[in-house]
């Protein structure tokens, strides 16, 4: 009968929709803008229960994260003490026993959050950490740690002033060029470099496409260099362990390893932009499976030829030699020696001892260079778990 056929078709359609969502995938990510509450799930990720486990409100100077204690939608409430915010592991600010929620309130720059500057936005990133304490029986484990990335996006706006521009003998554009500070940024890009990509879902064997750039609207033409980059488990370079990706004033030392394809990308899209790719890795023994990357960026005038202090050198495995992105080949010779400083500084400490003090320092009085942090970059928990099981086997 027509009615039966219609009911059967409707039932099949509903069943196909339900089956399309695997119930056990919890690759979560919370993202919000300054004007709304929102919960963003990655494709094919749905909580079992109807509530939203994590809600984020981005305010003018702080963010408010509300966490439901039934975090996994199983009816089993997590221990409040096992929840922290950010790499600094900030504790909750209040509880709501009636709704079984935990509330974290923190300034945008607090708890180890990282800010990313893009041409259109300011993006503040942090993490909600769930690290379950051992149960009464230390022999068995009933729950795994979890890391949920949280983002607040704020549109960038031009500075506005009601003060009149006072007459001066110098052209206004020249003064603006001299007074404006450069804006350095690092961005994680997709495979064809056409757009940014999320910081989650990476697997061992994937490639990180990183784009460094500097805003130079009112400046004379500038050429951008990545002086050094170091990976660590927290923002900045003070945490241990850490791993050098770029060192010695522009040598991509990660590409020297046998099992990597890390390299600078030629040609540059623009002189004020530099691209490089690195193979995904994780720190051994890190249950969170994340990394932060801190890079020291700097610029020189375009008409200044690259030299041993301002260069972008990749290791060519086929030729077993270092090659510059631009400039003469001899500027990369110091990469193999592991010392590209001037002769007067050649007696410095070894590279590992130089990271905290010399490589990464703020140059507040010099707008030609800056330290920029990207992260946290998160590995897929499933993939990491498979790797750990293989290692144990």
Q: What is the model's pLDDT at position 367?
A: 61
The domain defined by 51-135+142-156 folds into Immunoglobulin-like (2.60.40)
Rounded mean pLDDT, 303-315 = 95
Report domain extents, the chain.
Answer: 51-135+142-156, 183-341+368-382
Rounded mean pLDDT, 290-304 = 94
Exposure string for 225-257, b = 16+ CB within 10 A, e = fewer: bbbbbbbbbbbbbeeeebebbbbbbbbbbbbee
Q: Are 241 and 231 in contact (CB under 8 A)?
A: no
User: For 41-93, how does the pLDDT look when each residue is reduced to its tens digit (9 = 90+)?
Assistant: 333 333 333 468 999 999 999 999 999 999 888 888 999 999 999 999 999 99
Q: What is the CATH architecture of 183-341+368-382?
A: Sandwich (2.60)
Question: Is the pLDDT at 353 greater than 80, yes or no?
Answer: no
In which band, very low, low, confident or very high, does the pLDDT at 310 lie, cut at 50, 70 and 90? Answer: very high
Q: Are 222 and 299 in contact (CB under 8 A)?
A: yes
List the single range of 159-168, 257-266, 315-324, 356-365 with lowest mean pLDDT: 356-365
Distance between CA atoms of residues 38 and 36, nearest Å: 6
Q: What is the model's pLDDT at position 217?
A: 66
pTM for the structure as a whole: 0.71
Exposure string for 275-309, b = 16+ CB within 10 A, e = fewer: bbbbbebbbeeeebbbbbbbbbbbbbeeeeebebb
Nearest to residue 244, comparing CAs of 132, 148, 257, 2?
A: 257
Fold match between domain 51-135+142-156 and domain 183-341+368-382: yes
More confident residue, 297 or 31: 297
Residue 169 bridge partners (DSSP): none
Site of tokens 């490639």: 207
Token code pair at residue 321: 């030699």
């Amino acid at each position: 009968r027509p009615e039966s056929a219609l009911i059967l078709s409707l039932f099949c359609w509903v069943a196909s929709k339900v089956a399309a969502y695997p119930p056990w995938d919890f690759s979560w990510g919370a993202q919000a803008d300054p004007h709304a509450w929102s919960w963003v799930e990655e494709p094919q990720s749905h909580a079992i229960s109807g509530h939203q486990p994590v809600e984020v409100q981005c305010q003018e100077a702080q963010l408010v994260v509300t966490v439901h204690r039934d975090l996994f939608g199983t009816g089993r409430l997590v221990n409040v003490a096992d929840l922290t915010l950010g790499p600094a592991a900030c504790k909750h600010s209040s509880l709501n026993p009636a709704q079984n929620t935990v509330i974290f309130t923190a300034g945008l720059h607090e708890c180890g959050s990282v800010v990313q500057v893009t041409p259109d936005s300011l993006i503040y990133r942090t993490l909600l950490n769930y690290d379950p304490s051992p149960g009464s029986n230390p022999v068995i484990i009933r729950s795994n740690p979890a890391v949920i990335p949280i983002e607040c996006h704020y549109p960038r706006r031009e500075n506005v002033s009601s003060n009149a521009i006072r007459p001066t003998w110098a052209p206004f554009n020249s003064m603006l060029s001299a007074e404006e500070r450069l804006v350095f940024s690092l961005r994680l890009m997709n495979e064809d470099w056409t757009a940014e990509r999320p910081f989650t879902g990476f697997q061992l064997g994937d490639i990180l496409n990183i784009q460094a750039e500097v805003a130079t609207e009112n400046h004379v033409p500038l050429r951008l260099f990545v002086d050094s980059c170091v990976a660590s488990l927290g923002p900045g370079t003070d945490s241990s362990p850490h791993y050098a990706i770029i060192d010695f004033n522009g040598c991509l030392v990660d590409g020297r390893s046998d099992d990597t394809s890390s390299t600078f990308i030629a040609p540059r899209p623009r002189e004020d932009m530099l691209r490089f790719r690195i193979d995904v890795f994780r720190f051994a023994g890190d249950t969170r499976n994340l990394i932060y990357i801190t890079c020291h960026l700097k610029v020189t005038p375009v008409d200044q030829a690259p030299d041993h202090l301002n260069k972008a050198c990749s290791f060519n495995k086929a030729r077993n030699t270092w090659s510059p992105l631009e400039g003469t080949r001899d500027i990369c010779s110091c990469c193999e020696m592991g010392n590209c400083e001037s002769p007067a500084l050649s007696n410095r400490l070894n590279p590992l001892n130089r990271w905290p003090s010399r490589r990464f320092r703020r140059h507040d009085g010099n707008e030609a260079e800056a330290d920029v942090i990207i992260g946290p970059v998160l590995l897929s928990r499933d993939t990491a778990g498979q790797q750990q099981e293989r290692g144990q086997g």
